[in-house]
Chains A and B, each alone.
Chain A
Amino acid sequence: EVQLLESGGDLVQPGGSLRLSCAASGFTFSAYAMNWVRQAPGKGLEWVSAISGNGGATYYADSVKGRFTISRDNSRNTLYLQMNSLRAEDTAVYYCSKGNIWFGEYFDYWGQGTLVTVSS
């Protein structure tokens, strides 16, 4: 059974940093692209970032480019999102999702999400 478990969400001040983690199990982690998707309070889903299976290719939404960094540790079956220079508009539930071989195809499994609140 595929499982994705996010952690690391917290309350952080504007301008601060936070690292999210997503522990994966139930599939060959290194074979699949992975994504982060977020949902701000009362808003819709927003794709944030993606990474290829071997970590060699990364992709970002314009809203986070230059501030967020996606990475993965295939030996630990774990996906990360390093978030720097956080803004109030980054407040959201962040979901980890499994892609297919190539990141642009679809997200077939999702975690339950972790809440990031950016506020002073």
Chain B
Amino acid sequence: QSALTQPASVSGSPGQSITISCTGTNSDVGAYKYVSWYQHHPGKGPKLMIYEVSNRPSGVSNRFSASKSGNTASLTISGLQAEDEADYYCTSYTSSSTLVFGGGTKLTVL
């Protein structure tokens, strides 16, 4: 199972919006609603930010939103803040009854 494709890095200034894409296939992202997004600060356990394509867990800022079109999912962070600087990963359930992560995207807040 190949990893989902994410950009290696994105950047933005405080207050701006950025979008991270996550491209899979019609055997994973395109086939299921089970796409989720995680924020990972080095040395800590990852944090769930989005589940089932576009749902935010309680406690996650509404500056985080997500969607899916075809085989590509997207995470948007609006009103960028310094604390948003982290690595972001998407993941999807697959038709092989496995889970696959994206390669990860390093977000830099300039």
Contact = CB atoms under 8 A, between A and B. Distances in A.
A61 B1 contact: yes
Nearest to B32: A104
Contacts of A61: 1, 98
Chain B interface residue number, banded = 20 to 34
A109 B44 CA distance: 12
Interface string B91-107: 10100011111111000
A50 interface: yes
Interface string A25-45: 000000000010100000011
A104 to B, nearest CB: 4
A68 interface: no
Contacts, number: 68
Interface string A96-111: 0100000111111111
B57 A108 contact: yes
B34 interface: yes
A109 to B, nearest CB: 8
A107 B48 contact: yes
Contacts of B21: none
B34 A105 contact: yes
5 contacts: A45-B46, A47-B99, A61-B98, A62-B1, A106-B52
